[in-house]
Structure 1
Amino acid sequence: MKLSTYYFLLLPSRLHHLICIHLAIAFFLALPSCKNPQPKALPPPQVSVIKAIQKDVPIYEEYVGQTYGLSDVEVRSRVEGWVTSFNFKEGSPVKKGQLLYTIEDIQYKTKVDQMEGQLARANTELVRAENELNRVRPLTQMNALSQKDLDNATAQYGAAKAQKQSAEAALQNSKIELGYTRVYAPIGGIIGISNVRVGDYVTRSPGAGTLATISQIQSLRVRFQLSETEYLRLQRKIAKGQLSSETRDVDIILPDNSIYPQKGVINFANRQIDTETGTITIEATINNPDQLLRPGLYVKVKFLSDYFPNAVVIPQNAVIQLQSIYQVFAVQKDNSLKVKVVETGPRAGDGWIITKGIQPGERIAIVGTQALTNNTKIEPVETKWPKSTTD
């Protein structure tokens, strides 16, 4: 045994333990070191990309309207009395001149008889006054009677003649009132629900309700309101020739969202703006040959309100709005994104008209909720427009 080894064995046990630890550390430090692997780069995100298109874009507006009969005539009583019958089926067609109601006529017949009696008395008085005048006139000419007697006879004859005319007028009026106890249809059309029944008392006062309403529905009127600013805009475009006479054509969208096959035509605008609502009433007429539509129906009126020839259009969900600023992500040749500020026009269907900032055919990214920034590289996923948009 060597002397050095001997001395090592003679070292105290604590010191021996420390030396062994240092030797172990030196051994592990002598081992070749292992480098940590570098993380792999993430692939660029996939983003839907679509090309901006150029096309003629008509802009249509929809307004809520209400239908009315071509004529909606309220049937009212022109005399007072008890209803003795009504002679129609509610909700059915009636013809002009058809008897609708009868009102108790006893008092009106009695009045006719009274007026006939007054007319008879007036005729008798007229004959007496005429005979008296014929008697006095020659005697006055012979100076057998004074001029005063002739004047009196002439005045009595004139009064009797006027009395007869008054009695004739009163008789005619009483006959007219008697005729009003028979209520006839003023127009042909569909009659609604009767508001009175046999035994009800009706009056001719201004506040009295209607007996029924008759509507002509072979054609209907549709009324809707435009704001004053929209009305002025449309009128100016029509005056400049930017909108054709086709603007008068309207589509009627029914409550079930179906489009009525008959097109309507705008007839007129009201003479004034409603000062309370700031709107103007527009009326259109529409043929109703199958009588599907009825008065009082709420519909939507759709018509051409603007026209953009050769407009650049991109999807609405490709536009990012930050307060009053509109931005899009344009895709460059190297598939990097570039933020562009654009100017927008009106929306058309799923698209948005871009008036400045984008050229036709330029690729636009639809980023959705992805957190992408300027110069971000993407993997474009080409998306096509729906055929209905490109037509």
Structure 2
Amino acid sequence: MKKVTSILLICFLLLIGCTSKQEEVVEREGVKQVYTKTISGSGYTNKLTLSGNIVPTEVVKPSFKIPGVVSNILVNEGDVVRKGQVIAQMDQSDYAIKVRAAQAELEAARLQIETEIPTKINQTKAQYELTRLTYDRVKALHEEGAAPQSQLDEISAKLILDENTYNQAMDAKVIAETKLQMAEAALDLANANISDTTIYSPIDGVILNKIMASGETTSAGYPVVVIGQINKVWAEIGVPDEYINTLKVGQKASVYIYGIDQSVEGRIDEITFLADAKTRTFPVKILMNNPDRILKPGMITKVDIQLSNGEKTLIPLSSVMHLSAGSAVYVYSDETQTVSLRMIETGEIIKDKIEVLEGLTSDEKIVIEGQFLLRDGEQVMAEEMVE
């Protein structure tokens, strides 16, 4: 029984000895044990770390300008395409018929204006000029009393009729010229429709998505494929509003891509001035070169952007006491082995440290553990903490 009691007593003493050093206040001969740290200027780097994903720098969705049946799609997802390369074709049968019809109308209009119209004009002009000469003779005879009034009236009416017929022939020429222009425009449109039965890639890129298949009927403007420019890509992130004004276009960023376990250097290329309605963050795009196309759209990234760096007086955040009068720390004196309460002015919080703007100088020692049970001017046993 005594042996069991001894074992329990030993375990209890070991348990007491394992108490956290930060929570323990050791009193030796009535003097409290504290832990101190010497103040010095600290270099720091303040950076913004956000997750994002890879997106193409340019995305286009080529489509046919006219409706019809897709006869052939010449690319597959993942294919690399060049600007001007044929992507897809449409059945041309109906549009070829329209081209032939437009050509026939153009030939008819051209033939009319080259043969029929000139002949009609020449005939009516000759008749009009002949009638006018006759009118002049009858009028002269009538004035001399050699021709009756009825004969003059008859030739006058015929002159007016022949003049109107001649004017109609001239108007018919203008109408025929207009019809010729319309026929030319109709042929141009028919030929354009034939051209629009083939889709060419508008950019150098990669086929990201194949939407249509051969044999499907498509309407004008409906995308057939999706092409992305990925020789250069963006890492798109959402930046909270408190940081958005600290970023600038051209600023460098380090982008870690989880899928390939690599970090790539990039720079801020675009900063959106309108927050996303759902996330309430501002989209920012980091531009990266991707000549080997190892960065794929949709890959998850971690983006580090350095906001500021330099040297400041930084102390552990846990060493600061927040009193009614303000922030304070205990300063330890090696000469007197006592602590004194010191009011300080604090600044920026950087990770687990806080900036001291006023109240402390380099090489002073502050209490970083055990300070909450101290009194101003109290003598203590101090142990320097070394990082």
Instruction: Give me the TM-score of the superposition, normalised by structure 1.
Output: 0.70
1:120 aligns with 2:107: yes
Shift of 1:343: 2.9
Distance 2:322 2:211 in 1: 57
Distance apart, 1:195 and its partner CA: 1.5
DSSP 3-state at the match of 1:169: helix
8 Å contact kept, 1:51–1:314: no
- Does residue 184 (structure 1) correspond to residue 172 (structure 2)? The answer is no
Letter of the aligned partner of 2:355 in structure 1? I
Q: Which residue in 2 is equivalent to 1:62?
A: 49
Instruction: Decide whether aligned partners of structure 1 residues 356 and 86 sit closer, same or farther in structure 2, where only a CA change above 3 A counts.
Output: same
Other structure's SS at 1:263 match = strand
Taking every aligned residue pair, what percent have the same amino acid on both sides?
A: 19
Aligned residues: 329
* Residue type at the aligned position of 1:318: S
1:240 counterpart residue number: none
Which stretch of structure 1 is more off in the superposition, 67-76 or 222-231?
Answer: 222-231
Q: Is this contact kept in 2: 1:262–1:288, CA < 8 A?
A: no
Secondary structure of the residue that 1:330 maps to in structure 2?
strand
For residue 218 of structure 1, report the CA deviation from its aligned partner. 1.6
Match of 2:121 among 125, 133, 145: 133
- For the 8 Å contact 1:313–1:352, the answer to whether it is kept is yes
Aligned to 1:314: 315
Matched, 1:380 2:382: yes
Give 2:350's aligned amino acid.
A
Residue 351 (structure 1) aligned to one of 350, 353, 358: 353
C-alpha distance 312-121 of structure 1, shift in aligned 2 (>3 A): same
Matches within 5 A, 1:334-345: 334-345=336-347
* Separation in 2, partners of 1:361, 1:380: 15
Question: How far apart, in 2, do the equivalents of 1:343 and 1:168 lie?
Answer: 84
| Contact 2:264/2:288 (<8 A) preserved | no
Q: Does residue 85 in structure 1 map to residue 72 in structure 2?
A: yes
Separation in 1, partners of 2:241, 2:128: 81
List alignment gaps of at least 5 residues for structure 2.
1-26, 133-158
Question: What amino acid is aligned across from residue 41 of structure 1 in structure 2?
Answer: E
* Cross-structure match for 2:85: 98
- Give, in angstroms, the shift of residue 223 of structure 1: 4.3
Structure 1 residue 312, shift from structure 2 partner:
0.9
Q: Aligned to 1:216, which of 220, 229, 232?
A: 229
Q: Give ranges in structure 1 of 5+ residues lacking alignment.
A: 1-38, 236-244, 386-391
In 2: Cα distance, 1:314 partner to 1:350 partner: 9
Letter in 2 for 1:263: G
Q: Distance in 1 between matches of 2:28 and 2:382?
A: 21
| Cα deviation 1:70-123 (Å, max 9, x = unaligned) | 221112232222322221231121111222222222222222222222222222
Q: 1:262 aligns with which of 257, 261, 265?
A: 265
Match of 1:45 in 2: 33
Inter-CA distance 381–201: structure 2 relative to 1 (3 Å threshold) = farther
Paired residue type of 2:100: D
Residues 342 and 359, structure 2, Cα contact 8 Å, conserved in 1: yes
1:145-200: per-residue Cα shift (whole Å, max 9, x none)? 74322321222111111112212212221222222222221111111121222232
The SS at the match of 2:312 is: strand
What residue is the counterpart of 1:157 in the other structure? 173
For 2:42 and 2:50, the matched residues in 1 are separated by: 26
Separation in 1 of the partners of 2:220 and 2:28? 95
Question: Aligned-pair RMSD on alpha carbons?
Answer: 3.6
Deviation per CA, 1:1-55, whole angstroms, max 9, x where unpaired? xxxxxxxxxxxxxxxxxxxxxxxxxxxxxxxxxxxxxx983664353x3222214
Instruction: Work out whether 1:295 is the aligned partner of 2:283.
Output: no
Matched position secondary structure for 1:75: coil
Once residues 254 and 276 of structure 2 are traced to their aligned partners in structure 1, the CA distance between those partners, rounded to angstroms, is 28
Change over 3 Å in CA distance of 1:335–1:219 after alignment to 2: farther
Q: Distance in 2 between matches of 1:306 and 1:324?
A: 31
In 2 relative to 1, CA 343–295 (structure 1 residues): closer, same or farther, beyond 3 Å?
Answer: farther
Per the alignment, do residues 332 and 137 of structure 1 end up closer, same or farther by CA in structure 2, a change over 3 Å counting? farther
Distance, in Å, in 2 between the alignment partners of 1:323 and 1:260 is: 47
- After superposing the two structures, state which structure 1 stretch, 342-351 or 164-173, moved more: 342-351
In structure 2, the residue matched to 1:360 is 362
Can you list the C-alpha shifts for 1:111-145, whole angstroms capped at 9, x where unaligned? 22222222222223323224323444455455567
C-alpha separation in 2, matches of 1:220 and 1:130? 66
Shift in CA distance, 183/40, structure 1 to aligned 2, threshold 3 Å: closer
Counterpart code for 1:219: K
Q: TM-score, normalised by structure 2?
A: 0.71
Structure 1's 255 and 40: CA in aligned 2 closer, same or farther, altered over 3 A?
Answer: closer
